[in-house]
Amino acid sequence: MLPVPVLERAQKELLSYGSSGMSVMEMSHRSGHYQEIIDEAEQTLREIMGIPDHYKVLFLQGGASSQFAMIPLNLFRNSKKADYVNTGAWSKKAIKEAARYGKVNVVASSEESTFNYIPVLDPAKFDREADYFYITTNNTIYGTRFTDLPDTGDVPLMADMSSNILSEVYDVSKFGVIFAGAQKNMGPAGVTMAVIREDLVGHAMEMTPTMFNYKTHVEAGSMFNTPPTYGIYMCKLVFDWLKEMGGVPAMQKINEEKAQALYDFLDASDLFSGTVAQKKDRSLMNIPFVTGDKALDAQFIKEAAVKGMVNLKGHRSVGGMRASIYNAMPLEGVQKLVDLMKQFEVENK
Protein backbone atom coordinates (compact mmCIF):
# COMPACT_ATOMS: atom_id res chain seq x y z
CA MET A 1 0.00 0.00 0.00
CA LEU A 2 0.90 3.64 -0.46
CA PRO A 3 -0.51 6.24 1.93
CA VAL A 4 -3.66 7.88 0.57
CA PRO A 5 -2.36 11.43 1.26
CA VAL A 6 0.73 10.59 -0.83
CA LEU A 7 -1.37 9.35 -3.74
CA GLU A 8 -3.60 12.40 -3.52
CA ARG A 9 -0.62 14.76 -3.55
CA ALA A 10 0.90 12.92 -6.52
CA GLN A 11 -2.45 13.20 -8.29
CA LYS A 12 -2.60 16.93 -7.60
CA GLU A 13 0.93 17.48 -8.92
CA LEU A 14 0.67 15.04 -11.82
CA LEU A 15 0.28 17.60 -14.61
CA SER A 16 2.53 20.25 -13.14
CA TYR A 17 5.05 20.06 -10.32
CA GLY A 18 5.13 23.43 -8.59
CA SER A 19 5.75 26.21 -11.07
CA SER A 20 7.60 23.94 -13.52
CA GLY A 21 4.69 23.59 -15.93
CA MET A 22 5.44 19.90 -16.39
CA SER A 23 4.97 16.56 -14.70
CA VAL A 24 7.88 15.06 -12.77
CA MET A 25 7.67 12.23 -15.32
CA GLU A 26 8.57 14.73 -18.06
CA MET A 27 11.47 16.44 -16.30
CA SER A 28 15.12 16.23 -17.17
CA HIS A 29 17.00 14.76 -14.22
CA ARG A 30 19.55 17.54 -14.84
CA SER A 31 16.99 20.29 -14.29
CA GLY A 32 16.92 22.55 -11.27
CA HIS A 33 13.41 21.39 -10.39
CA TYR A 34 14.46 17.76 -10.26
CA GLN A 35 17.63 18.51 -8.32
CA GLU A 36 15.39 20.10 -5.71
CA ILE A 37 13.26 16.94 -5.54
CA ILE A 38 16.13 14.49 -5.07
CA ASP A 39 17.92 16.79 -2.59
CA GLU A 40 14.76 17.11 -0.49
CA ALA A 41 14.19 13.35 -0.65
CA GLU A 42 17.67 12.70 0.71
CA GLN A 43 17.44 15.38 3.39
CA THR A 44 14.09 14.17 4.71
CA LEU A 45 15.28 10.55 4.69
CA ARG A 46 18.35 11.60 6.67
CA GLU A 47 16.08 13.29 9.21
CA ILE A 48 13.63 10.45 9.71
CA MET A 49 16.30 7.71 9.81
CA GLY A 50 18.83 9.75 11.79
CA ILE A 51 21.54 9.15 9.18
CA PRO A 52 24.91 10.60 10.33
CA ASP A 53 26.81 13.01 8.10
CA HIS A 54 29.58 10.48 7.40
CA TYR A 55 27.14 8.20 5.59
CA LYS A 56 26.26 8.55 1.91
CA VAL A 57 22.68 8.12 0.65
CA LEU A 58 22.12 6.67 -2.81
CA PHE A 59 18.99 6.16 -4.91
CA LEU A 60 19.77 3.31 -7.30
CA GLN A 61 18.15 0.95 -9.79
CA GLY A 62 18.41 -2.80 -10.26
CA GLY A 63 16.33 -3.76 -7.24
CA ALA A 64 17.64 -4.94 -3.89
CA SER A 65 18.77 -8.11 -5.68
CA SER A 66 21.55 -6.12 -7.39
CA GLN A 67 22.91 -5.35 -3.95
CA PHE A 68 23.57 -9.07 -3.46
CA ALA A 69 26.46 -8.54 -5.92
CA MET A 70 27.28 -4.90 -5.16
CA ILE A 71 27.99 -5.63 -1.48
CA PRO A 72 30.75 -8.21 -2.09
CA LEU A 73 32.13 -6.42 -5.15
CA ASN A 74 32.59 -3.24 -3.09
CA LEU A 75 33.38 -4.73 0.32
CA PHE A 76 35.69 -7.67 -0.47
CA ARG A 77 38.78 -5.53 0.01
CA ASN A 78 41.07 -7.45 2.40
CA SER A 79 40.39 -11.07 3.33
CA LYS A 80 37.68 -11.53 0.70
CA LYS A 81 35.71 -13.40 3.35
CA ALA A 82 32.29 -12.56 4.77
CA ASP A 83 29.92 -13.87 7.45
CA TYR A 84 26.27 -14.41 6.53
CA VAL A 85 23.20 -15.44 8.54
CA ASN A 86 20.78 -17.52 6.47
CA THR A 87 17.24 -16.66 7.56
CA GLY A 88 15.21 -16.94 4.37
CA ALA A 89 14.91 -16.93 0.60
CA TRP A 90 16.58 -13.53 0.15
CA SER A 91 19.59 -14.21 2.37
CA LYS A 92 19.98 -17.54 0.58
CA LYS A 93 20.18 -15.71 -2.77
CA ALA A 94 22.62 -13.18 -1.30
CA ILE A 95 24.86 -15.99 -0.04
CA LYS A 96 24.90 -17.67 -3.45
CA GLU A 97 25.81 -14.40 -5.17
CA ALA A 98 28.56 -13.44 -2.71
CA ALA A 99 30.17 -16.86 -3.09
CA ARG A 100 30.97 -15.91 -6.71
CA TYR A 101 33.46 -13.29 -5.50
CA GLY A 102 34.90 -14.58 -2.23
CA LYS A 103 34.51 -17.00 0.66
CA VAL A 104 31.16 -17.05 2.49
CA ASN A 105 30.92 -18.32 6.05
CA VAL A 106 27.32 -19.11 7.03
CA VAL A 107 27.52 -18.54 10.78
CA ALA A 108 23.94 -19.71 11.42
CA SER A 109 20.87 -20.88 9.51
CA SER A 110 17.24 -21.76 10.20
CA GLU A 111 16.68 -23.46 6.85
CA GLU A 112 16.19 -26.87 8.48
CA SER A 113 12.94 -25.58 10.02
CA THR A 114 11.71 -23.76 6.91
CA PHE A 115 13.16 -20.53 8.31
CA ASN A 116 10.48 -20.26 11.03
CA TYR A 117 12.86 -18.68 13.58
CA ILE A 118 15.91 -16.45 13.84
CA PRO A 119 18.88 -18.58 14.92
CA VAL A 120 20.79 -17.71 18.07
CA LEU A 121 24.19 -16.43 17.00
CA ASP A 122 27.41 -17.69 18.56
CA PRO A 123 30.07 -14.94 18.40
CA ALA A 124 32.74 -17.67 18.57
CA LYS A 125 31.75 -18.56 15.00
CA PHE A 126 32.22 -15.01 13.72
CA ASP A 127 35.29 -14.48 11.57
CA ARG A 128 37.11 -11.43 12.93
CA GLU A 129 38.99 -11.20 9.63
CA ALA A 130 35.78 -11.01 7.61
CA ASP A 131 35.37 -7.98 5.37
CA TYR A 132 31.72 -7.72 6.45
CA PHE A 133 28.84 -9.45 8.26
CA TYR A 134 25.47 -9.72 6.47
CA ILE A 135 21.89 -10.07 7.75
CA THR A 136 18.37 -9.68 6.40
CA THR A 137 16.53 -7.79 9.14
CA ASN A 138 13.02 -8.92 8.17
CA ASN A 139 11.92 -11.98 6.24
CA THR A 140 8.78 -11.43 4.18
CA ILE A 141 7.98 -15.04 3.34
CA TYR A 142 8.47 -16.55 6.78
CA GLY A 143 7.43 -13.66 9.01
CA THR A 144 10.56 -13.38 11.15
CA ARG A 145 12.77 -10.45 12.10
CA PHE A 146 15.95 -9.74 14.02
CA THR A 147 15.08 -8.16 17.35
CA ASP A 148 18.71 -8.20 18.51
CA LEU A 149 21.48 -7.10 16.19
CA PRO A 150 24.72 -9.10 16.23
CA ASP A 151 27.74 -7.41 17.80
CA THR A 152 30.27 -7.67 15.00
CA GLY A 153 32.95 -5.48 16.53
CA ASP A 154 35.13 -3.86 13.87
CA VAL A 155 33.54 -5.92 11.08
CA PRO A 156 31.00 -3.74 9.21
CA LEU A 157 27.40 -4.94 9.47
CA MET A 158 25.43 -5.09 6.21
CA ALA A 159 21.62 -5.14 6.35
CA ASP A 160 19.00 -5.89 3.75
CA MET A 161 16.04 -3.91 5.14
CA SER A 162 13.87 -4.16 2.04
CA SER A 163 10.76 -5.27 3.89
CA ASN A 164 11.00 -3.33 7.14
CA ILE A 165 12.81 -0.09 6.27
CA LEU A 166 11.27 2.90 8.13
CA SER A 167 9.00 0.59 10.16
CA GLU A 168 11.03 0.68 13.37
CA VAL A 169 13.92 2.66 14.79
CA TYR A 170 17.47 1.52 14.00
CA ASP A 171 20.74 3.15 15.01
CA VAL A 172 22.27 3.68 11.58
CA SER A 173 25.73 4.06 13.11
CA LYS A 174 25.71 0.34 13.94
CA PHE A 175 25.75 -0.52 10.22
CA GLY A 176 28.25 -0.27 7.41
CA VAL A 177 25.62 -0.52 4.69
CA ILE A 178 21.81 -0.52 4.78
CA PHE A 179 19.88 -1.12 1.58
CA ALA A 180 16.23 -1.56 0.70
CA GLY A 181 13.99 -1.90 -2.31
CA ALA A 182 11.39 0.85 -2.19
CA GLN A 183 8.30 -1.21 -2.90
CA LYS A 184 7.36 -2.22 0.66
CA ASN A 185 7.55 0.98 2.72
CA MET A 186 9.11 3.75 0.64
CA GLY A 187 7.38 4.01 -2.72
CA PRO A 188 6.63 2.19 -5.97
CA ALA A 189 8.92 -0.47 -7.40
CA GLY A 190 11.97 0.73 -9.30
CA VAL A 191 14.04 2.50 -6.65
CA THR A 192 16.63 0.95 -4.35
CA MET A 193 17.95 3.05 -1.49
CA ALA A 194 21.40 2.47 -0.04
CA VAL A 195 23.03 4.11 2.99
CA ILE A 196 26.80 3.57 3.05
CA ARG A 197 29.44 4.60 5.58
CA GLU A 198 31.81 6.78 3.59
CA ASP A 199 35.00 4.90 4.52
CA LEU A 200 33.57 1.83 2.79
CA VAL A 201 33.32 3.64 -0.55
CA GLY A 202 36.16 3.51 -3.07
CA HIS A 203 37.53 -0.01 -2.53
CA ALA A 204 35.67 -1.97 -5.21
CA MET A 205 37.28 -5.05 -6.73
CA GLU A 206 39.01 -4.44 -10.07
CA MET A 207 36.41 -6.53 -11.92
CA THR A 208 33.50 -4.40 -10.63
CA PRO A 209 31.36 -2.97 -13.45
CA THR A 210 31.16 0.82 -13.38
CA MET A 211 27.44 0.75 -12.56
CA PHE A 212 28.04 -1.63 -9.62
CA ASN A 213 30.68 0.56 -8.00
CA TYR A 214 29.29 2.60 -5.10
CA LYS A 215 31.92 5.28 -5.77
CA THR A 216 30.40 5.89 -9.22
CA HIS A 217 27.07 6.84 -7.71
CA VAL A 218 28.44 8.69 -4.68
CA GLU A 219 30.53 10.98 -6.90
CA ALA A 220 27.58 11.60 -9.24
CA GLY A 221 24.98 12.20 -6.52
CA SER A 222 22.90 9.22 -7.70
CA MET A 223 22.83 10.72 -11.20
CA PHE A 224 25.62 8.95 -13.07
CA ASN A 225 22.85 7.81 -15.39
CA THR A 226 19.18 8.79 -15.50
CA PRO A 227 17.75 7.74 -12.13
CA PRO A 228 14.18 6.46 -11.63
CA THR A 229 12.99 10.05 -11.35
CA TYR A 230 9.29 9.56 -10.67
CA GLY A 231 9.92 6.72 -8.21
CA ILE A 232 12.30 8.92 -6.22
CA TYR A 233 9.71 11.71 -6.25
CA MET A 234 7.13 9.27 -4.85
CA CYS A 235 9.61 8.21 -2.17
CA LYS A 236 10.07 11.87 -1.28
CA LEU A 237 6.31 12.21 -0.76
CA VAL A 238 6.31 9.12 1.47
CA PHE A 239 9.22 10.52 3.51
CA ASP A 240 7.32 13.81 3.90
CA TRP A 241 4.20 11.91 5.01
CA LEU A 242 6.16 9.89 7.53
CA LYS A 243 7.83 13.00 8.92
CA GLU A 244 4.40 14.61 9.39
CA MET A 245 3.22 11.44 11.16
CA GLY A 246 5.92 11.95 13.79
CA GLY A 247 8.73 10.06 12.10
CA VAL A 248 9.87 6.46 12.52
CA PRO A 249 9.33 6.30 16.33
CA ALA A 250 5.65 7.19 15.85
CA MET A 251 5.36 4.72 12.97
CA GLN A 252 6.92 1.97 15.07
CA LYS A 253 4.28 2.44 17.78
CA ILE A 254 1.51 2.14 15.20
CA ASN A 255 3.13 -0.94 13.66
CA GLU A 256 3.48 -2.61 17.04
CA GLU A 257 -0.18 -1.96 17.74
CA LYS A 258 -1.23 -3.38 14.36
CA ALA A 259 0.90 -6.50 14.75
CA GLN A 260 -0.21 -7.06 18.36
CA ALA A 261 -3.87 -6.97 17.34
CA LEU A 262 -3.33 -9.78 14.86
CA TYR A 263 -0.92 -11.82 17.00
CA ASP A 264 -3.26 -11.62 20.01
CA PHE A 265 -6.07 -13.10 17.92
CA LEU A 266 -3.83 -15.84 16.50
CA ASP A 267 -2.62 -16.81 19.98
CA ALA A 268 -6.21 -17.12 21.23
CA SER A 269 -7.71 -18.75 18.14
CA ASP A 270 -8.73 -22.41 17.99
CA LEU A 271 -8.66 -22.44 14.19
CA PHE A 272 -5.90 -20.10 13.04
CA SER A 273 -2.28 -20.25 14.18
CA GLY A 274 0.90 -18.37 13.37
CA THR A 275 3.83 -20.22 11.80
CA VAL A 276 6.77 -18.48 13.53
CA ALA A 277 8.25 -20.75 16.21
CA GLN A 278 9.40 -18.10 18.68
CA LYS A 279 7.32 -15.07 19.66
CA LYS A 280 10.44 -12.94 20.03
CA ASP A 281 11.21 -13.47 16.32
CA ARG A 282 7.83 -12.32 15.02
CA SER A 283 7.81 -9.72 12.27
CA LEU A 284 5.94 -6.43 12.56
CA MET A 285 5.44 -6.36 8.79
CA ASN A 286 4.62 -9.88 7.60
CA ILE A 287 2.41 -12.26 9.57
CA PRO A 288 1.99 -15.77 8.12
CA PHE A 289 -0.77 -18.00 9.50
CA VAL A 290 -2.59 -21.24 8.68
CA THR A 291 -5.72 -23.17 9.64
CA GLY A 292 -4.02 -26.55 9.26
CA ASP A 293 -6.38 -27.45 6.43
CA LYS A 294 -5.38 -26.44 2.89
CA ALA A 295 -8.99 -26.45 1.69
CA LEU A 296 -10.00 -24.12 4.54
CA ASP A 297 -7.02 -21.87 3.80
CA ALA A 298 -8.14 -21.56 0.18
CA GLN A 299 -11.72 -20.88 1.27
CA PHE A 300 -10.59 -18.13 3.64
CA ILE A 301 -8.46 -16.46 0.96
CA LYS A 302 -11.43 -16.53 -1.41
CA GLU A 303 -13.84 -15.06 1.16
CA ALA A 304 -11.31 -12.39 2.11
CA ALA A 305 -10.97 -11.32 -1.53
CA VAL A 306 -14.75 -10.88 -1.76
CA LYS A 307 -14.45 -8.50 1.21
CA GLY A 308 -11.72 -6.51 -0.55
CA MET A 309 -8.81 -8.06 1.37
CA VAL A 310 -6.35 -9.17 -1.29
CA ASN A 311 -2.81 -10.59 -1.52
CA LEU A 312 -3.38 -12.79 1.52
CA LYS A 313 -2.16 -16.02 -0.07
CA GLY A 314 1.02 -17.28 1.61
CA HIS A 315 4.22 -18.16 -0.21
CA ARG A 316 4.23 -21.63 -1.77
CA SER A 317 7.04 -22.77 0.56
CA VAL A 318 4.91 -22.27 3.68
CA GLY A 319 1.37 -22.20 2.29
CA GLY A 320 -1.55 -20.75 4.20
CA MET A 321 -2.00 -17.02 4.47
CA ARG A 322 0.22 -14.01 5.01
CA ALA A 323 -0.88 -10.56 6.10
CA SER A 324 1.61 -7.90 5.02
CA ILE A 325 0.87 -4.87 7.15
CA TYR A 326 3.39 -2.33 5.90
CA ASN A 327 3.50 1.27 7.10
CA ALA A 328 0.63 2.53 4.92
CA MET A 329 -1.79 -0.15 6.15
CA PRO A 330 -3.97 1.53 8.80
CA LEU A 331 -4.93 -0.15 12.06
CA GLU A 332 -8.52 -0.29 10.76
CA GLY A 333 -7.39 -2.62 7.98
CA VAL A 334 -5.91 -5.07 10.49
CA GLN A 335 -9.03 -4.87 12.64
CA LYS A 336 -11.21 -5.72 9.64
CA LEU A 337 -9.04 -8.74 8.92
CA VAL A 338 -9.32 -9.92 12.52
CA ASP A 339 -13.09 -9.45 12.42
CA LEU A 340 -13.28 -11.60 9.28
CA MET A 341 -11.10 -14.27 10.88
CA LYS A 342 -13.35 -14.35 13.96
CA GLN A 343 -16.43 -14.74 11.78
CA PHE A 344 -14.76 -17.43 9.66
CA GLU A 345 -13.76 -19.37 12.78
CA VAL A 346 -17.32 -19.36 14.13
CA GLU A 347 -18.66 -20.56 10.78
CA ASN A 348 -16.08 -23.32 10.32
CA LYS A 349 -15.72 -24.91 13.73
Q: Report the catalytic residues.
A: 90, 160, 184
φ and ψ at 110, to 5 degrees?
Answer: -115, 20
- The full length of the chain comes to 349
Q: Residue 192 pairs with which residues in a beta bridge?
A: 60, 181
- DSSP, collapsed to helix, strand or coil, labels residue 75 as helix
Helical pair 4-12 and 229-245, crossing angle rounded to 10 deg = 130
Element (H, E) at 157: strand 157-160
Q: Which of 195, 161, 183 is nearest to 42 (CA)?
A: 195
DSSP letters, 113-156, are: GTT-SPPPP-GGGS-TT-SEEEEESEETTTTEE-SS----TTSP
Q: Which residues contact 104 (CB under 8 A, 6 or more apart)?
A: 81, 82, 84, 95, 98
- In angstroms, the CA 163 to CA 140 distance is 6
DSSP letters, 230-263, are: HHHHHHHHHHHHHHHHTHHHHHHHHHHHHHHHHH
Sheet architecture: strand order including 321-324: 273-274, 286-290, 321-324
